[in-house]
Structure 1
Amino acid sequence: MLTPHKSGKGPEQIKVLIVDDSTSARTMLRKIVEGDPGLSVMGAAGDAFAAVRLMKAELPDVILLDLELPGMDGITFLKRIMEQRPMPVVVCSSHTEFGSEKSFEALEAGAVEVILKPSPQNEASRQEATVRICDAIHAAVQSRLGRRPQRPAPVRIAPPGPKLTANEILPPPVIGRAVPRTEPIVCIGASTGGTEALRVVLEMLPADAPAIAIVQHMPPGFTAAFAKRLNSLCAVNITEAVDGAPLTQGQVVIAQGDQHLMLRRVGASYRAHVVGGAQVSRHRPSVDVLFRSAAVQAGSNALGIILTGMGDDGARCMGEMKAMGAPTIAQDEASCVVYGMPREAVEMGSAVQTLSLERMAAAIMGFARRQRLGATG
């Protein structure tokens, strides 16, 4: 039930507390975490009470938390942590509808990230999950909640396999090639902290906002619940992306977990194009794939926005959107949970403008007005 931290780990490592009622899951997660030289397992507990006993002796840097726990459930435990001693928490949840709904409740309660618990029987899934889990832990420590300025940069494990580009899914745009004028289209990419960031932006939009396509890094099985949750809060109509679905005024689509989302131009408007394929920038869905398709299909008719998140997904292909005449915006550091993807976009010169999260909706509506004035001018 309760496994203490073994000594001998370097002081610069991120200390992780695993809380999961399954012995096999704890063993698997320990192996994944300890495979990253920048991480160490401080302890592993089978329930919230065992976790509290470990935390009395030593506080972790990050908690990796299952929500289905005996005695005190994971949501209650998370809320008590945030009330008494806020710290970064990454939820490791199951694929079920119940799991996805509880995961969004956990995000609202203060969890930094939600990841899908890998299947111990599926080696391919476990290998793919290794990068996702370790990245989520590193991102949690970099978040505003868990930022520790004195901590030296940890040594990262080299993820297995090459880091693929959007060329794996579709060819790059021909820079300078004219794209006919169409309805305005907005493409948004986000990762860690993005579920809350997207809620803030979308809640501020009126029902006649331009069509929006979103890639939020999220496990398969979670995006439908996420879209449904946002739809209940917003004036725009928000759904999970379906291949061939029209992208029209007032319509927002969110990429399915484990599927890439692209734009397909049809006359003066767009449809969603949902495809599988390789992970791009170590993600599926990938922001780079969405932005590449926007550069090719929409050109200057599109607006590209990159929000909070770890890594560099989206930064390179946002530069292609810019080269095709599209305005591009990165979220500013002060309002980001993790200033990773926006930082890369700024440093590459891909983002023309940086804005706080609260100003994004106004920028979207201003873009739509300018596009429609241009079409009638």
Structure 2
Amino acid sequence: MAIAKKIKVMIVDDSLVFREVIRRGLSSDPSIEVVAVAEDPFDARDKILQFNPDVMTCDVEMPRMNGIDFIRRLLPQYALPIIVVSSVSEAVFDAMKAGAVDFETKPDVRSVRSVEIFIAELINKIKIASHAKVAGPETSQTEWRDPAKTPQVKDMGRIIAIGASTGGTEAIYRILKALPLNTPGIVIVQHIPPMFSRMFADRLNQTCPLEVKEAQNGDIVEQGRVFIAPGDRHIRVKKTGDRFKLECFQGDKVNGHCPSVDVLFESVAKEAGNRSIGVILTGMGYDGAKGLLAMRRRGARTIGQDEHSSVVYGMPKVAYEIGAVEKQTALSDIPYLLMST
């Protein structure tokens, strides 16, 4: 029997304590081998060439050069999947824009339970990252259509539902910034820690033409508005008269996630039917596939991100294979399709 190849990981953090916490935690998994640790980007640069890691974890706040600048400089020369390990800060979204694959929040090292949860999440994300496609910093090489030239919406009463996981924060940003103000109301599930969902929504609100907010119970889905599911709540839509109202609620994980894309998509299938468009973006696993199929069976138009433009072609692949995706396309074409479908 062939021996499975271990995932070679390099840890970059200026804190000796965190380097050791991460090293010990990752070493507990038989499929992972920590091949090197580095205290700053300059130390890391040399060790990357020496040890050739498959995945790198990287702190943000470090002396001599911060993690974001390091990622920006590294990726054009060395396509390495990077997971940012940082305190709660909007800087993680800058790191994602620079080309990081995912992020994880540093634990309270005084709490054994906090460290255990952190290590379990990090191990899972490292395994996903080892299969990820590294896109690098956002560039202008991909041609995006001018929002001003997109077609007029055919049905102003429509609702758009979007689901994403690994790589989704940047994909969502790139879609929303290319949409005009007359876009139908959008509801989004992005697998993201609770403390980051509002931060993510606020950041999108500041950088996109549409109004973006973290969803709350009772919000009405309206033209030009975008709602991000809270990181610890499921979200569903409920038809009230000729409008759609949002319900956010706690519940068990579905497909390993809360919020779950399937919960949103299944509610949209039931409540909106052929007045909806479903979009499934980059991410590992299968969350959203069955819900998107339910939407398509109820007359919704459905779109899946293609393999070439996905960071992780997991969720869109499963959805496509079960027949849930009507149109599979590059990320850059999705805004146009949303307005012309």
TM-score by length of 1: 0.78
Give the alignment partner of residue 275 of structure 2, picking from 285, 290, 301: 301
1:91 is the counterpart of 2:84: yes
- Check the 8 A contact 1:16/1:40 in 2, yes or no: yes
In structure 2, the CA distance between the partners of 1:312 and 1:128, relative to structure 1 (3 Å rule), is farther
Q: Which residue of 2 aligns with 1:154?
A: none
- Check the 8 A contact 1:287/1:314 in 2, yes or no: yes
How far the C-alpha of 1:141 sits from its partner, in A, is: 2.5
Mark the runs of 5 or more structure 2 residues left unpaired by the alignment. 136-154
Q: Which residue of 2 aligns with 1:143?
A: 132
1:75 is the counterpart of 2:77: no
How far the C-alpha of 1:63 sits from its partner, in A, is: 0.8
> How many residue pairs were aligned?
320
Equivalents in 1 of 2:293, 2:207: separation in Å? Answer: 32
Q: RMSD between aligned alpha carbons?
A: 2.3
1:41 is the counterpart of 2:15: no
Q: How does 1:140-219 map to 2 (within 5 A)?
A: 140-145=129-134, 183-219=157-193
How far the C-alpha of 1:361 sits from its partner, in A, is: 1.5
In structure 2, the CA distance between the partners of 1:182 and 1:236, relative to structure 1 (3 Å rule), is closer
- Check the 8 A contact 1:189/1:287 in 2, yes or no: yes
- Check the 8 A contact 1:115/1:218 in 2, yes or no: no
Equivalents in 1 of 2:214, 2:82: separation in Å? Answer: 26
Q: Secondary structure at the match of 1:264?
A: strand
Task: Show CA shifts across 1:164-208 (max 9, x none).
Answer: xxxxxxxxxxxxxxxxx9921110001112122112211221101
Equivalents in 1 of 2:255, 2:114: separation in Å? Answer: 17
Equivalents in 1 of 2:285, 2:38: separation in Å? Answer: 30
1:104 is the counterpart of 2:93: yes
How far the C-alpha of 1:323 sits from its partner, in A, is: 2.5
Q: How does 1:1-377 map to 2 (within 5 A)?
A: 12-95=5-88, 99=89, 101-122=90-111, 124-145=113-134, 183-367=157-341
How far the C-alpha of 1:108 sits from its partner, in A, is: 1.6
How far the C-alpha of 1:250 sits from its partner, in A, is: 0.8
| 63-72 or 81-90, larger mean C-alpha shift | 81-90
How far the C-alpha of 1:83 sits from its partner, in A, is: 4.4
Mark the runs of 5 or more structure 1 residues left unpaired by the alignment. 1-9, 147-180, 368-377
Q: Which residue of 1 aligns with 2:150?
A: none
Task: Show CA shifts across 1:235-280 (max 9, x none).
Answer: 2211111221111011111112222222122211112211122222
- Check the 8 A contact 1:193/1:337 in 2, yes or no: yes
In structure 2, the CA distance between the partners of 1:334 and 1:125, relative to structure 1 (3 Å rule), is same
How far the C-alpha of 1:72 sits from its partner, in A, is: 2.6
How far the C-alpha of 1:89 sits from its partner, in A, is: 0.9
Task: Show CA shifts across 1:114-144 (max 9, x none).
Answer: 2222334455554544453233223322222
Equivalents in 1 of 2:45, 2:167: separation in Å? Answer: 26
Equivalents in 1 of 2:105, 2:64: separation in Å? Answer: 23
- Check the 8 A contact 2:81/2:133 in 1, yes or no: no
Equivalents in 2 of 1:130, 1:326: separation in Å? Answer: 40
Q: Which residue of 1 aligns with 2:151?
A: none
In structure 2, the CA distance between the partners of 1:303 and 1:124, relative to structure 1 (3 Å rule), is farther
How far the C-alpha of 1:71 sits from its partner, in A, is: 3.4
In structure 2, the CA distance between the partners of 1:218 and 1:364, relative to structure 1 (3 Å rule), is same
Task: Show CA shifts across 1:320-367 (max 9, x none).
Answer: 222322222211112212111100101122222212212212222234
- Output the amino acid matched with 2:126: I
In structure 2, the CA distance between the partners of 1:194 and 1:139, relative to structure 1 (3 Å rule), is same
How far the C-alpha of 1:214 sits from its partner, in A, is: 0.5
How far the C-alpha of 1:283 sits from its partner, in A, is: 1.6
In structure 2, the CA distance between the partners of 1:72 and 1:235, relative to structure 1 (3 Å rule), is closer
How far the C-alpha of 1:86 sits from its partner, in A, is: 3.3
Q: Which residue of 2 aligns with 1:162?
A: none
- Output the amino acid matched with 1:142: H
- Check the 8 A contact 2:6/2:33 in 1, yes or no: yes
**% identical aligned pairs:** 41
